[in-house]
Chains A and B, each alone.
Chain A
Amino acid sequence: MANAEWERLKEALRKPATPEAMAEAAQRFREYERVKRLSGKPGSKPTLVSLGFRKDYPTQIAVRDIPGELERNPAFFEQMRKIVGED
């Protein structure tokens, strides 16, 4: 059910992890989230989690906090690239 905002996020995540690319990915994720909220699919407290051990990125992060982490944490940007950018 991919939408245009999601596709733009995927494109942004395929770029090298420069501060500009990280800021762009963060903005794309905010836009995707805004569209998702408007489409009437909000969650209670959706949280992205993983079972990674002592990682350089959070193993639990509220979806609403993903843009901030994308913007400041290159390790999280790379992880999101693997999950979303390479999907």
Chain B
Amino acid sequence: MLALPLHDLPTRSASGFLIRYVVPRTGPPQLVGPLDRKALFSTLAVGDAIIGVGHGDPARFSGYRDQVLLDVSSIPDVRGKVVVLISCQTARQLGPALINAGAASYIGFLEDLVWVMDADSAATPWSDKFAAPAMMPIVNCVNTILDGKVTADAFVVMTTELMGNAAVEEDDLIASCLRFNAKNASLLGNPMARVKARPKVAFPLPPPPLFPFMP
């Protein structure tokens, strides 16, 4: 399952990269924009992975317009699933709670996930050159999982690419954000967990239409 809200600049930036580079490899359910709601998220247990973008804190992960989708006190059936939460701080409590509830593996962040984006790219977030050094390592992590490789490999892809991008980044603020994210990335559960491999997609596909951005 993919949960990809688009209601503000950070969700639009992160979801935009996944919509461009991950969604074409996956099947439904894909909860994009206004579809990323608690009522749908909680009732859909199909699939072997949950990949979500959303605002978060130690105990909660949210969807469209910050509806809480996952909470340590009410975890849906995640048994055997690989969970990737592109969010803030969920590795502190929610990640461990997901593993305790039977998730095979979890990747997320202990602190805020921070990056610099170009607000003028909100209509085509995947073309944002400021955000790419932070978002492409996350995209490549998710795609490594969808290649059928173990989550430990995917985690290494993400952290190595974040640090590599920081090393060559000329903007100090962007570089600090990249190192901060790499330092706070977290892998919990079984590092040998994997999902069924999805077919690779030859890029570039035509970019998808997005819900208009209405700040």
- Whether A60 pairs with B9 at a CB distance below 8 angstroms is yes
Contacts A43-B130, A50-B113, A83-B180; A32 near B118 (Cβ below 8 A): no
Known: A46-B118, A46-B130, A82-B180. A52 touches B175 (CB 8 A): no
Count A-side interface residues using an 8 Å CB cutoff: 28
Pick the residue among A36, A43, A49, A53 that contacts B115 (CB under 8 A).
A49
In angstroms, Cα B54 to Cα A50, docked, is 10
Residue pair A84, B11 in contact (C-beta under 8 Å): no
Shortest C-beta distance, A58 to chain B (Å), equals: 10
**In the assembled complex, which residues on chain B have CB atoms less than 8 Å from the CB atom of A83?**
112, 114, 176-177, 180
Asked whether A36 lies within 8 Å of B118 as measured between CB atoms, the reply is: no
Q: Which of B119, B170, B179 interacts with A41 by CB under 8 Å?
A: B170
Residue numbers in A under 8 Å from B112 (CB-CB): 50-52, 79, 82-83
Q: Would you call A52 and B130 a contact (CB within 8 A)?
A: no
Question: Mask for B129-141, Cβ within 8 A of A = 1, else 0?
Answer: 0100000000000
A50 partner residues in chain B, CB cutoff 8 A: 10, 88, 112-115
- Closest-by-CB residue of A relative to B121 is A44
Q: Which residues from chain A contact B177 at a C-beta distance below 8 Å?
A: 48, 83
Asked if A46 and B116 make an inter-chain contact with CB atoms under 8 angstroms apart, the answer reads: yes
| Least CB distance, A68 to chain B, in whole angstroms | 16
Q: How many residues of B contact A (CB 8 A)?
A: 40
User: When the two chains form their complex, are residues B171 and A52 in contact, meaning their CB atoms are under 8 A apart?
Assistant: no
B97 smallest CB distance to A (angstroms): 16
- For A24-47 the 0/1 string (1 means CB < 8 A from B) is 000000001000100001011111
Please report the C-alpha to C-alpha distance between residue A41 and residue B177 in the assembled complex, in whole angstroms: 18
Residue among A2, A82, A87 having the largest count of chain B Cβ atoms under 10 Å? A87
- Taking the complex as formed, is A59 at the interface, i.e. its CB lies under 8 A from any CB of chain B? yes
- Complex CA gap A59/B53 in Å reads 14
Tell whether, in the assembled complex, residue A49 and residue B55 are in contact, meaning their CB atoms are under 8 Å apart. no
B91 at the A/B interface (Cβ < 8 Å)? no
Answer whether residue B156 sits at the interface, using C-beta atoms and an 8 A cutoff: no
Tell me if B18 counts as interface (CB < 8 A to partner A): no
A3 to B171, CA, bound (A): 10
Beta-carbon contact of B54 and A49 below 8 Å: no
Asked if B55 and A53 make an inter-chain contact with CB atoms under 8 angstroms apart, the answer reads yes
11 A-B residue pairs with CB within 8 Å? A2-B172, A6-B172, A45-B119, A45-B120, A47-B118, A51-B10, A51-B53, A51-B113, A52-B56, A53-B55, A84-B176
B interface list, Cβ under 8 A from A: 8-11, 13-14, 53-57, 60, 62, 66, 86-89, 111-121, 130, 169-173, 175-177, 179-180
**Extra contacts besides A43-B130, A60-B119, A83-B112 (7): CB < 8 Å:** A44-B119, A45-B119, A47-B117, A48-B173, A49-B114, A49-B115, A51-B54
